[in-house]
Amino acid sequence: MLQNEVNFTGSSLPGFTTQVIPQIINPGVGMVLFQHPVMGPNGEAVGNPTLLKQGMITFYDFYKQATGKEPTGTKYQALFLMNDISTKMQRGVFLPHGSPMAAALELRKAFMAVAKDKDFVEDFRRITGDEPEMVPAEEVERIFERIRNIDPEVKRVLRESVGEQ
Domains of the chain, residue spans: 13-161
Written as one letter, the residue type at 24 is I
Q: What is the pTM of this model?
A: 0.72
Among 97, 88, 96, residue whose Cα is nearest residue 136 = 88
Asked whether 21 and 11 are in contact (CB, 8 A), the reply is no
What are the pLDDT digits (tens) for 7-34? 676 677 788 888 888 988 899 988 888 9
C-alpha Rg value of the chain to the nearest Å: 18
